[in-house]
Structure 1
């Protein structure tokens, strides 16, 4: 068949990464494939025509923050829908961002455009009512986790498990020494990676507690080196907060390079989200934390279906790493939980080894040829 015309929407940095890997598979299948819509820098590197940047879709929380930005998001979706209905791509692929994409997919599908959703919304964790919206919106769902297709099939939704692209991007045995050389870190010093989120609102709610905890950790163990990977748009704010706490010369800030930072560190204090799965694939002990607007937190908690929030814990179905959420995410608690991992490196190495083994088994379960499997599924939809 001839190269298809593909429209895509990816929100935030994680969606940009996933979509770029999907584009890799489509371009291997159809070198002349044309793709456009909403995307980020990784997608643009693959020739994607971004009509809007993906960071325009980045929102934080369950309702309050979304409501504040609702008018802008609705305007973008309305303009995008009108353009796609005029140009009628062969297939529309919504990559994550379900609050934005599912409604758009439903409108396009009703108009006869084929629709695929990449990343099953976490109906197994919270907001199970979304399953009805998925059924209306997506002809097919590409799933990252092996248990999801059977769950969707119970609701009459066609799906394919394609593995998690990150499991192929991240090596089974990370080269910590090389990452430290690249970042200018000592080979011998203990290293803590601080990842307070990739969204402005996440940094707003989490960075103060993370950096107050960093100050406490520095007081307790001066030998621990600390590093923060920051998106370019957030770097100035992060540097300002560190300097306000007298940590400007203590905490190294690098632009981007989060995978190098996770490969280099011994422990990470990290915001709940896709980055926690990345940390697990790098086999790093972690403390997961999250804070959001209090109203968003109350609404989310009512819809939570499992006792875990962090992806490593959800996938392992156990509290393999600590979670400190909302009011529990105090600087003192974050510092204490983080220091426990550093103490375990010398006092209880079997604990670290057991965690690494568990994360390695998780890595193997997620490792598939994602670009090819996704392209296979999309081709079947196109020829129907």
Structure 2
């Protein structure tokens, strides 16, 4: 018990999706080692479990090459200070949760100084930037993988790894209750509902939100009965409200602080930014239109390193364009509106898609908190 009491876990989750994953990881760690403190950088899900965040998570929530360069001095400064503090105050293991651009260098530096390290979520080396496998091998004693094909891929590169399932697959029910979600959100049971998810970063809002709102206006012109819900972070609420006013959609979009799962459960279709949220939408068995737009230079650099024809996780995991993707210049408001409304007019296609998503959900369901704790215990004992 004395040895366990002396333990301290250090973690960094750099964005909202990582915060959700890290919260479930903490469930497993706290069940295995009750009362062991966890510190670093995290968001509301982690804070609710007693995590102590030394910096606001929003400081790290930047995406795209150009955007990161703009914020690089501050982000690099946080990483240096965090590394120094962890080495000074000690931690038995550091677990980087996603955010590879921030976490892998930090993990490698800590590992060089004798701290055990793990990385939760294998970087998408199977989708783009395969050279990251070398950095991952230097950074992590063990990788916790959320997709079943990843451990074998990492083993070929000499990296110990465990498949722990996708944590969100156990949070989202196999049969979401649309009626209960609509009742909770005050939405009518008989109206078609579109969930708008333009992203959880300010940089994403800058490039996507107005397009989504203009698309929503076109959809409502075509179908006046449509209702719109938009979940967002409290820190982004003022910016969302300003954009709604500018687009003429204020009062016509129900803005929710948090509650993205309620929005996905309640909706008939979602217009959604590419990212982890698209997998959540798939697990809610909701048809979607995946969109993304970013700085043109960032996109040009990213596209050259893309290994697969798909951008959205549901399409990558299904190995097919099961849902439409409208990226960069293709993500115009008319195209977004047309593709979203097409799902509402195609119940047979929706049913077939839901069957694909049922199979995907079953494949991703595992006892993730326990499997994570098992893997971390092996690292600690090794």
TM-score, structure 1 normalization: 0.97
CA distance in 2, matches of 1:50, 1:245: 36
- Per the alignment, residue 139 of structure 1 pairs with 141
Cross-structure match for 2:285: 283
What is the deviation of 1:373? Answer: 0.2
Q: Distance in 2 between matches of 1:169 and 1:53?
A: 25
Question: Is 2:28 the counterpart of 1:30?
Answer: no
> Deviation at 1:335?
0.5
Larger deviation: 238-247 or 311-320? 238-247
Unaligned runs of 5+ in 1: none
Cα distance in 2, alignment partners of residues 53 and 372 from structure 1: 28
Name the structure 1 match of 2:369.
371
Deviation at 1:55, TM superposition (A): 1.4
CA distance in 1, matches of 2:312, 2:58: 23
User: Which residue in 2 is equivalent to 1:361?
Assistant: 359
SS at match of 2:250: coil
Residue in structure 2 matched with residue 190 of structure 1 by the alignment: 192
Match of 1:261 in 2: 263
What is the deviation of 1:249? 2.3
Q: Deviations over 1:87-146 (max 9, x none)?
A: 221111000010000001001111110000000000000000100000000010000000
Q: What does residue range 1-384 of structure 1 map to in structure 2 within 5 Å?
A: 2-3=3-4, 4-61=7-64, 63-344=65-346, 349-384=347-382
Q: Once the two structures are superposed, what CA deviation does each residue of 1:252-305 show, in whole Å capped at 9, x if it has no partner?
A: 111111000000000000000000000000000000000000000000000000
SS in 2 for 1:254: strand
* TM-score, length basis structure 2: 0.98
Q: Partners in 1 of 2:83 and 2:254 — Cα distance?
A: 43
CA RMSD, aligned part only?
A: 0.8
Q: Secondary structure at the match of 1:259?
A: helix
Q: Deviations over 1:162-195 (max 9, x none)?
A: 0000000000000100000010000000000001
Secondary structure, aligned partner of 1:69: helix
Q: Aligned pair count?
A: 379
CA distance in structure 1 between the partners assigned to 2:20 and 2:247 by the alignment: 33
> Which is further off, 80-89 or 105-114?
80-89
Shift of 1:41: 1.1
Q: CA deviation at 1:243?
A: 2.1
Counterparts of 1:44 and 1:244 in 2: how far apart (Å)?
Answer: 34
Q: Secondary structure at the match of 1:146?
A: coil
Instruction: Report deviation, 1:78.
Output: 0.5
* Greater mean alpha carbon deviation, residues 332-341 or residues 48-57: 48-57
SS at match of 2:345: helix
2:237 and 2:202 mapped to 1: Cα distance? 11
Output the CA distance in 2 between the equivalents of 1:249 and 1:159: 48
Deviation, structure 1 residue 350: 2.1
Hey, what's the Cα distance between the residues in 1 that align with 2:233 and 2:117? 31
- Give the conservation status (yes or no) of the 8 Å contact 2:343–2:349: no
Q: Distance in 1 between matches of 2:10 and 2:256?
A: 33
Question: Which secondary structure does the structure 2 equivalent of 1:320 belong to?
Answer: coil
- Aligned residue for 1:378, secondary structure, equals helix
1:381 CA displacement: 0.8
Q: Gaps spanning 5+ residues in structure 2: where?
A: none
- Name whichever of 286-295 and 38-47 sits farther off: 38-47
In 1, are the aligned partners of 2:210 and 2:247 still within 8 Å (CA)? no
